[in-house]
Every structure is written in C-alpha cells, then in structure tokens.
Amino acid sequence: MMNPNDQRYVGIHDDLYGGMTPIGGIIKDAWVFGLIPETESGAGWTAADMQKVYDQVSAAWAPYGHLVSQLPADLRERHARIHEAAIATAKAQGWEPGRDLDSEMES
C-alpha cells in the first residue's frame, strides 16, 4: 500500500498483513526470481520504482506462463518458501484468505 501523504510504498513488512496486497505480491515474486534481495522491503519506493520491478517480474514469469507449476524445481521451492512464510505471517496478523482487502485499504 502506498503512503497517501507522499506516494511512497510503506514496505512489505508494514503493508497490510505483511504484504498480502498486489504490491506485496510483486515484491515477493521479485524475491523468488532474484531480482531484488530478500532483505529489500520496497520501503520508500515510488510508483515508478514499483513499475520497474513489476515489469521485471512480469518478464521473469513470462517463460513459465505465469504459472507456479511451470517453474523449475529451484524456483518452485523458493516460491513455496517465500509465499508460505508470508501466509503464516499474515494469518498470525489476522488475515483471512479470500477476504476482500479493498475496504481495509481505504481505512
């Protein structure tokens, strides 16, 4: 979620439920593909910064049809590790899979 005061991203760890948002998904996938280090949270990124990473992530997914099942074993394992950890963190913070976050993002 972007900070409405200056339009910079708050960082995946301070995003809703530890990044269970579209921007958080981009960051997690950038970690999967090694586009950014797993220590990079995206805190302070502008929309232009995010667009650049989004474009890189999209290009990285393209050879696999944007399907986890098509990833080679090493990337599939990294994807599982990163996303399973994110889900566990989100659930510990009260996240419920499938719940619409749009109303929470407006709060």
- Each domain of the chain, given as residue ranges in start order, spans 2-34+48-106
Rounded Cα distance between 55 and 59, Å, is: 6
Which of 83, 35, 79 lies closest to 57, judged by CA?
Answer: 35
When pLDDT is averaged across residues 24-37 and rounded to a whole number, the result is 97
Q: How many C-beta neighbours within 10 Å does residue 79 have? A: 17
Rounded Cα distance between 41 and 28, Å, is: 9
pLDDT value, residue 97: 83
pLDDT tens-digit profile of 46-59?
Answer: 999 999 999 999 99
Q: Which of 4-8, 75-79, 98-102 has the highest mean pLDDT?
A: 75-79
Q: Specify the pTM.
A: 0.85
**What's the gap between Cα 55 and its chain centre?**
13
Rounded Cα distance between 68 and 80, Å, is: 9
What the block records as the tokens of 25 is 């998904």
